[in-house]
């Protein structure tokens, strides 16, 4: 909120000036999905296997992780910026873009609805990075963005959302790291 | 039985997968999906790729879409043959993933609408959004500066070897390099120019260009 991510000290860690960056001793890494993959692989032997058990299962995880990045995230990011942050960040909220983004996201969620009617989680019958990657921004969608109906009106998407958002790890995350007032 | 790739050989996302196959020396078959007639939006293809895009692969019973996921899958499955695209350690792989994800979030978000407006729309007889393209080019220059800085101290994006991070940029970069002022932007940057010359001299890339009729 104070623009710290655009200051030289942070740009030395992450040259695009965005968050997050993870620093572990001398090792540093940015891009949240790259960090997720690294952590899931490094700690594969503990907790749930978030990358699937086989190369083929991992392929399905990567597929839905990429769907989140390329297809789900962009319209939802527009909604997040223009509904939640426009006034705070000082730019005019674009109503036309909000309408178009909601329509795009609705079309994507229709595909998810059909897929989740045949599959418990995105990559199969196991929870994976692909499901977790959807948590933060969908939490915005059903909360401060005020469009919970987009999830609730779709039976299987709604059941999937209830399932992944009730995971203890996510609840702990929300408790410990709530949005600054 | 060889893997079938559904897509158009001249399109950027199928090319990403084809380039991976060529680098990894994997045999494949292309099943042409005609983008000019919107075959990718027809029911038969929607069964393979529900978002109506290319590419999708079928490898026996195994099916996958999203070109970057397909490329990662084959690079992992065939890690012992062809070019090593995923780094030498878990830490190195994560840096490869990092710069591959940079392509998705910082590079492609600009490259894709530029190519749509300056290359695809004219072909379809549609109007180009001139104001948008101008704005995108300004943002692209800023991103290229970051790449220039990275390549000043690294031969390739993820270090001293060619990896998925470099490969994933190539199809869209090639379209951008066909646009005069963007070509000049890249050539004006010493390290970007050096990197582009080196990676496009690779035999796999040259084979792909022949396949794409370039």
Give the tens place of pLDDT for each residue, B93-116. 999 999 999 999 999 999 999 999
The whole-number average pLDDT for the span A147-175 is: 97
Q: Which residues of B193-208 are buried (b: 16+ CB within 10 A; e: fewer)?
A: eebbeebeebebbeeb
Per-residue tokens: B158 = 């993820």
Q: Which residue of B has its CA nearest to A51?
A: B73
Contact A71 B100 (CB under 8 A): no
Specify the pLDDT at position B148.
Answer: 98
Nearest residue to B104 (alpha-carbon basis) of A102, A137, A33: A33
Binding-face residues of A in 7-26 toward B, CB within 8 A: 15-16
- Tokens read off for A98: 């909000």
Q: Is A28 on the interface with B (CB under 8 A)?
A: no
Beta bridge partners of B28: B3
Cβ-Cβ contacts under 8 Å, B95 against chain A: 29, 34
Best of A31, A65, A72 to disrupt the B interface (most B CBs within 10 Å) is A31
Distance of CA B88 to the CA centre of its chain: 22
Interchain contact, A60 vs B64, CB within 8 Å = yes
How many angstroms away from the CA of B6 is the closest CA of chain A?
16
B57 phi/psi in degrees, rounded to 5: -120, 150
Cβ separation B105–A60 shorter than 8 A: no
Decide: helix, strand or coil at residue B10: coil
Which H or E element spans position B141?
A: helix B130-152
Q: Is the pLDDT of residue A181 over 60?
A: no
Residue B121 has pLDDT above 70, yes or no: yes
> Among partner residues A15, A34, A42, which is closest to B101 by beta-carbon distance?
A34
Residue A31 to residue B51, Cβ atoms within 8 A:
no
Report CA dihedral (B68, B72, B73, B79) to the nearest 10 degrees.
160
Nearest beta carbon to residue A67 from set B66, B70, B146 = B66
Cis upstream peptide for A20 (omega within 30°) = yes
Q: What is the pLDDT of residues A51-95, one digit of tens each?
A: 999 999 999 999 999 999 999 999 999 999 999 999 888 899 999
CA B43 from chain centre, in angstroms, equals: 26
A58 to chain B, any CB pair closer than 8 A? The answer is yes
Give the pLDDT of residue B193.
Answer: 97
Name chain B contacts of A71, Cβ cutoff 8 Å.
Answer: 51
For residues B67 and B14, the answer to whether their CB atoms sit within 8 Å is yes
A52: left (phi over 0), alpha (psi -120 to 50) or beta: left
pLDDT at residue B208, rounded to an integer: 98
Q: A34 is written with which tokens?
A: 């790259």
pLDDT average, residue stretch B142-151: 97
Q: In sequence order, which residues have a C-beta less than 8 Å from that of residue B103 and are 6 or more positions away?
A: B165, B168, B169
Q: pLDDT exceeding 70 applies to what percent of chain B?
A: 100
| Residue from A17, A20, A60, A62 whose CB has the most chain B CBs within 10 Å, to mutate | A62
CA proximity to B163, closest of B102, B207, B103, B97: B97
Tens digit of each residue's pLDDT (9 = 90 or more) over B17-51: 999 999 999 999 999 999 989 999 999 999 999 99
Strands (DSSP E) along B48-182, which ranges? 56-59, 62-65
- The first and second tokens of residue B175, run together, are 């379209």
B90 neighbourhood in chain A, CB within 8 Å: 38, 41-42
Among B73, B91, B101, the residue with its CB nearest the CB of A31 is B101
Question: With contacts defined as CB-CB under 8 Å, which chain B residues touch A45?
Answer: none
What HEC string does chain A produce?
Answer: CCCHHHCHHHHCCCCCCCCCEEEECCEEEECHHHHHHHHHHHCCCCCCCCCCCCHHHHHHHHHHHHHHHHHHHHHHHHHHHHHHHHHHHCCCCCHHHHHHHHHHHHHHHHHHHHHHCCCCECCECCCCHHHHCCHHHHHHHHCCCCCCHHHHCCHHHHHHHHHHHCCHHHHHHHHHCCCCC
A113: contact with B, CB 8 A cutoff: no
Q: How far is the CA of A5 from the CAs of A1, A9, A28, A124, A134, in angstroms?
A: 9, 8, 16, 37, 23
Question: What per-residue confidence (pLDDT) applies to B192?
Answer: 98
């Amino acid at each position: 909120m104070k623009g710290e991510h655009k200051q030289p000290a942070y740009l030395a860690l992450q040259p695009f000036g965005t968050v997050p960056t993870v620093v572990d001793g001398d090792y540093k890494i940015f891009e949240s999905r790259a960090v997720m993959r690294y952590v899931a692989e490094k700690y594969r032997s503990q907790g749930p296997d978030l990358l699937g058990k086989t190369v083929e299962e991992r392929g399905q995880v990567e597929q839905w992780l990429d769907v989140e990045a390329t297809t789900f995230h962009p319209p939802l990011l527009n909604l997040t910026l223009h509904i939640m942050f426009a006034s705070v960040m000082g730019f005019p909220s674009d109503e036309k873009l909000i309408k178009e983004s909601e329509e795009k996201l609705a079309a994507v969620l229709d595909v998810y609805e059909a897929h989740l009617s045949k599959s418990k989680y995105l990559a199969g019958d196991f929870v994976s990075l692909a499901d977790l990657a959807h948590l933060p921004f969908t939490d915005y969608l059903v909360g401060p963005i005020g469009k919970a109906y987009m999830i609730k009106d779709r039976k299987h998407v709604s059941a999937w959302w209830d399932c992944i958002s009730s995971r203890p790890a996510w609840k702990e995350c929300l408790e410990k790291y709530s949005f600054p007032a | 039985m060889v893997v079938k790739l559904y897509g158009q050989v001249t399109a950027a996302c199928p090319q990403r997968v084809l380039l991976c196959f060529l680098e990894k020396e994997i045999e494949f078959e292309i099943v042409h999906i005609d983008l000019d007639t919107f075959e990718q939006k027809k029911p038969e293809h929607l069964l393979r790729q529900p978002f109506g895009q290319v590419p999708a692969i079928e490898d026996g019973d195994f099916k996958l879409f999203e070109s970057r996921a397909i490329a990662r899958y084959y690079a992992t499955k065939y890690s012992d043959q062809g070019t090593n695209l995923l780094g030498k350690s878990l830490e190195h792989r994560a840096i490869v993933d990092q710069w591959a994800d940079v392509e998705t979030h910082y590079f492609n978000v600009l490259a894709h609408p530029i190519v749509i407006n300056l290359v695809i729309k004219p072909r379809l007889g549609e109007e180009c959004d001139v104001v948008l393209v101008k704005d995108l080019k300004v943002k692209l220059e800023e991103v290229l500066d970051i790449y220039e800085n990275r390549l000043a101290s690294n031969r390739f994006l993820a270090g001293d070897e060619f990896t998925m991070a470099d490969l994933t940029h190539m199809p869209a970069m090639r379209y951008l390099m066909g646009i005069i002022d963007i070509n000049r932007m890249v050539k004006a940057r010493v390290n970007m120019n050096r990197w582009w010359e080196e990676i496009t001299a690779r035999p796999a890339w040259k084979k792909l260009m022949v396949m794409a009729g370039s």
